[in-house]
Each structure stands twice: as C-alpha cells, then as structure tokens.
Structure 1
Amino acid sequence: MLDIQTADHLEQRLNSVDSLDELQAFVAATSRELEEPSTEPIDTQREERVIGGLERLLGGIREKLETLAAEEGAESYQLSVAGGTTGLSVTVTVSYTSGNP
C-alpha cells in the first residue's frame, strides 16, 4: 500500500521514464504494488496520507503521459484510475494510440 515514502520512491522512478512504452510498464508495475493489501490498520490519518501520496503520483503520471504523448506524436492517450470497494486499493492503467505508422 502506498505511503509518502513509497510515493517519493515511485516519483523518482517515474522521472527516469523516457517513452510511452516505459510509462505503460511503470504504471503496470506500480498498479500491482498498489493492489497489495496493507497489513497496517487504516485510520483516518493513514488514509489521508495514502490519498495524498496517490494524488501526487497520479499527477506525475498524468504530466509524464501528456509530455511523452506530445513528444512521440500519439494520436490519443488515456489515464484510467479505479478504486476498490473494500479498503484502499487502486488500479491505474495507461493506454495510447501511436500517431506514427
């Protein structure tokens, strides 16, 4: 489960992503990490920290996606986020259509 330290680490990894393919792989791996259930009890403060970390991470992914899509000439791109109904679980996916033949 995501916390501020994990979000910082993931943001550092995100900064080294150089292509849409790499971004898709990063997001898939990150999504798997976010789906892992937390072993710690979730109180209001922890929930707020997790949500804050997610907002930062998703903002970074969105910015990277927009930048890379423009650089690579993608015709379209999408960032999808889905939350779980029990506890805190998140699935994130990135898809794009290449503008290059």
Structure 2
Amino acid sequence: MEHADVLVSRVALPPESAHRRARELLAGHPGCLAAAVPDTAMRCVVVVRDRTGAVSFVRPDQGGADAPVPPHAVGAVVHAWAGSGGSPRALRSLVPMPRR
C-alpha cells in the first residue's frame, strides 16, 4: 500500500460512505493517484488526484453492462486515463469488451 498507484477497497458501502472511504484512502497515501470503492448501487466511486494535486470524484456508468465492472478494473482504467493526461471528469462510462 505504501507505494501503490491505485488503492481498491473490496467492501461495498452506501454511496456517501463509499465517497468518504475513497477520499480517506487517497488522503492517507499522498503518492497514490486513485482510490476505488464499490458502492451498494452496483457502481464504483473513484477519487483521483490530478497533476496539480486537486482531487476529483469519478463515478462512471457501467455502459449497459450486464455485470458491474470490478472496482480494481475501474481503478486501473481511471488511473491509466488520468496518468495519460485525460480529465477524470471526461470519463463517463466503462464498457467491458467481450473476450474472444
């Protein structure tokens, strides 16, 4: 955890508690870029730190997926998006691609 770029909680919480937990995770690890917490609404709350240090909340839609995207996958996508310069607020949905 000390050197993680993304932290993920496995415990689903009510949306307000998920926001609070995500913020706590990021605040407790200043070198971390993103923290993801599943919520009981079958979504995931992600807090991401941008290059200036500002913190944004991201709660992407599942894009019509039958099953929710796992929090570790959401955190990884948001990390890659923000790490490549994308605005966290511009990431609106995640859609899993079928395996072939």
| TM-score range relative to shorter protein | 0.3 to 0.5
TM-score when normalising by structure 1: 0.36
Give the greater-gyration-radius structure (CA).
1
Higher helix share: 1
TM-score when normalising by structure 2: 0.36
Which is bigger in relative contact order (C-alpha 8 A, separation at least 6)? 1
